[in-house]
A and B are shown apart, each in its own frame.
Chain A
Amino acid sequence: MEGNVTVQTNELFLKKKKEMQKERRNLFIRRFLSNKMAVIGSIILTFLGLTAILAPVLTSFTPYEMVAANRLQPPSAEHWFGTDNFGRDIFSRVLYGSQVSLAVGLSVALATSIIGMVVGLLAAYYRLLDHILMRICDGLMAFPAILLAIAIVAVLGPHPVNVVIALTVVKSPEVARVVRSAALVIKEQTYIEALKAQGASAMRIIFMHITPNTVSPLIIQVTYVFAIAIIIEAALSFLGAGIPAPHPSWGNILYDGKTVIFSAWWMTIFPGICIILAVLGLNLFGDGLRDLLDPHTNKANK
């Protein structure tokens, strides 16, 4: 009899918990939808992501096929964005280029989150380590991101993976700092003290109890890192030090387009619009998320 009651209250408790979770999720979705910036940002990003994935369906041209007779054609019904100085279809180069640009951006965002998270948490928890790690971060942050990236790629050689490595080195300290400062606040809370008193191990406290509270600032920061990675990748490729030709990337198309800027505006305008859309989408999404998740630091929108 007694056991039965416990089971019932347990079930009741679980049911209530589920309801509350659902309610909270619905509230978050409602707040997200009422945040114009976040919604517009995610629409732009979804659109770009879909066109990148569906590139083979959306265009019948390959980004590499050169047709000498079709050199520098302005936009037409057949070639929506025109053709370049080798007679390649710009529309398909822009679409396949967005695969490269977004993949580089996403890889950098993931890599910097992981490295930044681990470094930031360890620095926040261990005093001695903090001094060493933060001085290294300060040193790395003293380099203008784009210059250090240029130098690293110049030495390693132009290859998409090297671009990702360079950008990760350059941007991880920034993420680490954000995670560290969030973690420092959490570390002083009473519940962490209670956990220590109970004898919880350091790793358990760091990764089970501090980490979840640093996720929001991390995600916000990484959104901006994503945007900057796209900009720097485009700049590197534009300088001829990023994704090697003939692979399409937004920066490469701009690089090819610069030599013929007098006769072929379409080679600058279309990849340019894509870069602006991607960066704008990420910035809007980031600002929107910041409003949603972190009302304290919301200064831009007061």
Chain B
Amino acid sequence: MKAYTIKRLLSLLPVLLVVAVVVFFLIHLAPGDPAAVMLGPDASPQDVENLREQLGLNLPLYQQFIAWFSGVLVGDLGMSIYMNQPVLDVFLDRVGPTLSLAILAQGISIIIAIPFGIIAARKRGTLTDQGFMVFAMLGVSVPSFLLGLLLMLLFGVYLGWLPIAGYSPLSEGVWSHLQYMILPAISLGAIQAALIARMTRSSMLDILSTNYIKTAHAKGVKERLVIYKHALRNAFIPILTVLGQTFGTLVAGAVVTETVFNLPGIGQLIVQSIVRRDYAVIQGTILIIAASYVLINLIVDLLYGAVDPRVRFNKK
């Protein structure tokens, strides 16, 4: 297990390096002088020159990269030229609603998807199963921001049950927080739920046809016990992968979904930064999200070892 952990950790380094290089070169994609683009057409040449100096754009490219990268390693992601604050602080200020949304959506999707997946697997081939799967197919095909708009139309505008947009932080009460978060969380969680339900179903089907499950049935173990204790434990491994892999997608989806509902999270920050041409913020934000995506996948991989001893011993 130790060797496996170390090997996985080492394999991260090249990936993170590529991530850093891509993020670094993003700013150089800008047509013309990035400093001039950032300051807009009205800036004086002196201001542009000062910004070039400040950003180190006059240095050779590799020196720029080394300077930038050594900053990143100690948590210095540069300054937001619009807010005149370190990018990391700006990010941390805004990350609350996005994380809250992603976690709620993940929770909702797990609660819906796993029971539905199990039922579909047990009633395989029946109308119930087919109905669930058609529903899941539809769920995968509705982008979360669109589902958000449709839910907003139904519950906010037509029925008037919930506020259509806005935010109330968790510190001001759980109930009002949930009131603002529930529609965004459902619209974000729906695709996730559909994916997990499909994965649960196919993974359960694989397990239910194995011999040890048949043996358990033959011994007269209660159906419920067979499903939840014997089968689900093994079926959970592929489900865990999907959960890990899609959490990154979920955070990215949260970014779009929250702009639908005007939640003051990372998504709004990115969209505002595009308008303000605040490239440092865009760079820093996607660097943090990509890096955390890589780390989440690492944790999921290591969790395998905990759930499934076979991984510990086979993968050397």
Stretch of A3-11, A80-88, A154-162, A181-189 that contacts chain B: A154-162
B29 within 8 A of A: yes
Contact yes or no, B290 A241, CB < 8 A: no
Tell me the complex Cα distance, A262–B165, Å. 12
CB distance from B242 to the nearest CB of A (A): 12
CB distance from B12 to the nearest CB of A (A): 9
Nearest to B253 among chain A residues (CB) is A146
Contacts of A206 in B (CB 8 A): none
Stretch of B19-27, B43-51, B211-219 that contacts chain A: B19-27
Given that A135-B15, A135-B18, A261-B164 are known contacts, is A276 also in contact with B202, CB under 8 Å in the complex?
no
Contacts of A280 in B (CB 8 A): 137-138, 141
Name, among B138, B143, B270, the residue most crowded by chain A CB atoms within 10 Å (CB to CB): B143
Nearest to A282 among chain B residues (CB) is B141
CB distance from B200 to the nearest CB of A (A): 12
Stretch of B167-175, B244-252, B299-307 that contacts chain A: B244-252
CB distance from B267 to the nearest CB of A (A): 8
Tell me the complex Cα distance, A144–B246, Å. 10
Contact yes or no, A142 B290, CB < 8 A: yes
Contacts of B256 in A (CB 8 A): 146, 235, 238-239
Contact yes or no, A275 B290, CB < 8 A: no
Given that A138-B18, A154-B274 are known contacts, is A144 also in contact with B164, CB under 8 Å in the complex?
no
> Which positions 150-164 of chain B face chain A at CB distance < 8 Å?
150, 152-153, 157-158, 164
Contact yes or no, A156 B271, CB < 8 A: no
Nearest to A146 among chain B residues (CB) is B252
CB distance from B105 to the nearest CB of A (A): 14
Given that A144-B249, A151-B286, A156-B29 are known contacts, is A283 also in contact with B19, CB under 8 Å in the complex?
no
Contact yes or no, B18 A139, CB < 8 A: yes
Contact yes or no, B145 A151, CB < 8 A: no
Contacts of A276 in B (CB 8 A): 138, 141-142, 146
A13 within 8 A of B: no
CB distance from A144 to the nearest CB of B (A): 3
Tell me the complex Cα distance, A276–B22, Å. 32
Tell me the complex Cα distance, A272–B144, Å. 11
Contact yes or no, A258 B22, CB < 8 A: no
Contact yes or no, B271 A142, CB < 8 A: no
Tell me the complex Cα distance, A254–B286, Å. 25
CB distance from A27 to the nearest CB of B (A): 26
Contact yes or no, B259 A239, CB < 8 A: yes
Tell me the complex Cα distance, A257–B149, Å. 10
Tell me the complex Cα distance, A299–B259, Å. 35
Contact yes or no, A142 B294, CB < 8 A: yes
Contact yes or no, B202 A261, CB < 8 A: no
Contact yes or no, A258 B149, CB < 8 A: yes
A279 within 8 A of B: yes
> Which positions 267-302 of chain A face chain B at CB distance < 8 Å?
268-269, 272, 275-276, 279-280, 283-284, 287, 299-300, 302
CB-contact partner of B31 in A139, A146, A157, A300, under 8 A: A157
Contacts of B271 in A (CB 8 A): 239-241
Cβ contacts A119-140/B at 8 Å (1 or 0 each): 0000000000000000110111
Contact yes or no, B22 A139, CB < 8 A: yes
Given that A142-B293, A272-B150 are known contacts, is A300 also in contact with B15, CB under 8 Å in the complex?
no
Nearest to A250 among chain B residues (CB) is B146
Does more than half of chain B's interface fall in helix, strand or loop, or is it mixed? helix
A147 within 8 A of B: yes
- Interface range on chain A: under 10, 10 to 19, 20 to 34, or 35 or more? 35 or more
Name, among A136, A155, A238, A257, the residue most crowded by chain B CB atoms within 10 Å (CB to CB): A155
Tell me the complex Cα distance, A146–B191, Å. 15
CB distance from B73 to the nearest CB of A (A): 17
Nearest to A262 among chain B residues (CB) is B157
CB distance from B133 to the nearest CB of A (A): 8
CB-contact partner of A275 in B140, B143, B198, under 8 A: B143
Contacts of B92 in A (CB 8 A): none
B205 within 8 A of A: yes
A234 within 8 A of B: yes
CB distance from A242 to the nearest CB of B (A): 11
B30 within 8 A of A: yes
A28 within 8 A of B: no
Tell me the complex Cα distance, A269–B157, Å. 13
Contact yes or no, B18 A156, CB < 8 A: no
Given that A152-B26, A272-B146, A275-B143 are known contacts, is A144 also in contact with B153, CB under 8 Å in the complex?
no
B114 within 8 A of A: no
Contacts of B27 in A (CB 8 A): 155
B255 within 8 A of A: yes
- 30 A-B pairs in the complex with CB atoms less than 8 angstroms apart: A135-B15, A139-B14, A139-B18, A142-B15, A142-B293, A144-B253, A144-B293, A146-B252, A146-B256, A148-B22, A150-B270, A150-B274, A151-B26, A151-B282, A152-B29, A154-B270, A155-B27, A155-B282, A238-B145, A238-B256, A241-B271, A254-B146, A257-B149, A275-B146, A276-B138, A279-B142, A280-B137, A283-B137, A287-B137, A300-B202
* Residues of B in contact with A (beta carbons under 8 Å apart): 14-19, 21-22, 26-27, 29-31, 124, 133, 137-138, 140-143, 145-146, 149-150, 152-153, 157-158, 164, 198, 202, 205-206, 248-249, 251-253, 255-256, 259-260, 270-271, 273-275, 279, 282-283, 285-286, 289-291, 293-294
A-B CB proximity, top 3 nearest: A139-B18, A144-B252, A280-B141
Q: 5 extra interchain contacts, Cβ-Cβ under 8 A, other than A135-B18, A144-B251, A150-B282?
A: A135-B14, A142-B291, A148-B290, A287-B137, A302-B124
